[in-house]
Amino acid sequence: MASSRAARSRLTASAASRCVSRSGFFMSGGSAPPSRIRPIMAKNQPHPSDPAKRQAAARPATPAPAPAPASPPPPAALRGQGLAGLGALRAALEGQAEQRAREQAQAAQAAREAAADADLFRREIGDIRPLAVPQRAAGGRTPPTPVPKHTRQDEAAVLDATLSDEFDPETLLDADESLYYHRPGLSRDVVRKLRSGAWIVQAQLDLHGMRRDEAREALAEFIRESAKKGLRCLRVIHGKGLGSIGKEPVLKGKVRAWLVQKDEVIAFCEARGHDGGAGAVLVLLRQAGVGGERGPRAAS
């Protein structure tokens, strides 16, 4: 009996030793208690306490891709298999249907998430309007000298108050074929020298095609700006009336009436033939800072 028990103990210890060796543990001293079981360390492997191994163990495992459904066997492979072949075909088709359903569900879920993100973005941002682009002045241009608004208003008021269409210039014009005029106190030689070209024409205004009101405003502006620039001799083309009703020059008499009313004008006369003849008038302006004129030497 004692010998059989000893033999049974040896067999049990040997079997336990083989099991422990397969599981990676070994026992020192035969049948040692579980507390003395230690793991068998494989060669050239990092110790469990190695930081690199702990970090690798802490990383989440990458999920394995879903297995592709098995493609259905070709019809030639199903010949002679009977119901077993049909079952394999059915299982393959069901696997493909499930795969398509999963892909469609994933696509729908991704679309819903994208729509939810876009809706959340719109709610957080609110209405978006483009920024107003400020107008920028083109570089390299010299801005004009500003003119006070009240100055223009005063000049317009004075113009409306002083120029009259009903004024009769015959009261001031000398009875002459050329219809000339000069301010009181000036010699008639001023008009003669103006007509002969003693002063060079420095600016010109053409009133062809303008209505009466347009011509009056254009003439007043022309005289005012020319005086500001210090110009002396001007030419105003009013036309001969060849295109008007009755072939009568409508603006000819009006222009002379308006010129007489302008303080800047000291003399004017009908132009010579090569300067426009009866369709134009030469105008002499007052010299800046001079109250009167005595002739072309003083006016030049």
Same domain, 19 and 76: no
My answer on whether 23 and 80 are in the same domain is: no
Is the domain of 20 the same as that of 77? no
**What is the domain extent for residue 6?**
1-31
Judgement on whether residues 24 and 99 belong to the same structural domain of the protein: no
CB 206 within 8 A of CB 237: yes
Residue 186 resides in a domain: yes
93 and 180 share one domain: no
Into how many domains does the chain fold? 3
Task: Give φ, ψ of 229 to 5 degrees.
Answer: -80, -5
Residue 204 inside a domain? The answer is: yes
pLDDT tens, position by position, 89-104: 788 888 899 999 999 9
Signed CA dihedral, 150, 151, 154, 160: sign only: negative
Residue 20 included in any domain: yes
User: Is 194 a domain residue?
Assistant: yes
Return d(Cα 101, Cα 280) in angstroms, integer: 96
Do 76 and 27 reside in the same domain of the chain? no
Polymer length in residues for the chain:
300
- Domain contains 253: yes
* Domain assignment of residue 95, yes or no: yes
Task: Let me know if residue 59 belongs to a domain.
Answer: no
Q: What is the CATH number of the domain that holds 262?
A: 3.30.1370.110
Do 261 and 209 sit in the same domain of this protein?
Answer: yes
Taking only the tens place, the pLDDT of each residue in 4-55 is 666 666 655 565 555 444 544 444 444 445 545 555 555 556 555 565 555 5
Q: What is the pLDDT along the chain (300 residues), one digit of tens a residue?
A: 555 666 666 655 565 555 444 544 444 444 445 545 555 555 556 555 565 555 555 555 555 555 555 565 665 555 566 666 677 778 888 889 999 999 999 999 999 999 998 888 888 887 777 788 777 766 667 777 776 666 666 666 655 555 566 665 555 544 454 478 888 888 888 888 888 888 999 999 999 888 889 999 999 999 999 999 999 999 999 887 665 555 556 788 888 889 999 999 999 998 888 877 788 899 999 887 655 444 443 333
If asked whether residues 10 and 91 sit together in one domain, one would say no
Cα distance between residue 233 and residue 256, in whole Å: 16
89 with 172, same domain: the answer is no
| Residue 106 shares a structural domain with residue 222 | no
Q: Does 1 lie in the same domain as 74?
A: no
24 and 82 within one domain: no
Is 278 a domain residue? yes
